[in-house]
Structure 1
Amino acid sequence: MTNTPANEKWIEHRAEQLILLDQLKRAELFNGRAAMLGIVLGIVTEAITGSGIAHQIGLGALVDGYAACRTQFLPFCF
């Protein structure tokens, strides 16, 4: 069997696809590990400081507003 130009092109294209899939797999693995580390650090910081994760990242007012809305302390709910 001889390699025709079309066959060689297909092989090159398939090799590029496999390389990209491998890179994507490694990137997703890294992202997952970074997310797990972030959650663990947030929980540890919450245990040490008593400040929740939402307050740590600056969303405390949103959470507090939701709690006030649920307990009817605010005249409006968002």
Structure 2
Amino acid sequence: MTNSPANEKWYWDRATQQIHMEQLKRVELFNGRAAMLGIVIGILTEALTGAGIAHQIGLGPLVDGYAACRTQFLPFCF
């Protein structure tokens, strides 16, 4: 049985696809672990300092403005 160029191309395409899927699985596993670690660190920092996660990353004024708008402390809401 001779390997035709079409069979060889299919083989290499399939091998490349499997390698990419394995790499994607590893990268997604790493991203998930990094996200979980970030959340845990944010919660621990919140417990120690009292500043929420939004305040830790610099979105505190936005959250505070939304809370003031929702409780009618501001005469206008955007």
Question: Corresponding residue for 1:62?
Answer: 62
Give 1:75 deviation, angstroms: 1.2
CA distance in 2, matches of 1:40, 1:26: 21
RMSD: 0.7
Question: Corresponding residue for 1:42?
Answer: 42
CA distance in 2, matches of 1:74, 1:21: 51
Give 1:3 deviation, angstroms: 1.2
Question: Corresponding residue for 2:72?
Answer: 72
Count of residue pairs the alignment pairs up: 78
Please list every run of at least 4 consecutive aligned residues from structure 1 whose deviation after the TM superposition is greater than 2 angstroms.
none
Question: Corresponding residue for 1:32?
Answer: 32
Deviations 1:14-55 (A, max 9, x none): 000000111111111110100000000000000000000000
Name the TM-score, length of structure 1 as normaliser: 0.96
Output the amino acid matched with 2:73. F
Give 1:2 deviation, angstroms: 2.2
Name the TM-score, length of structure 2 as normaliser: 0.96
Structure 2: any 5+ residue segments left out of the alignment? none
Give 1:77 deviation, angstroms: 1.1
Question: Which SS does the other structure have where 2:75 is aligned?
Answer: coil
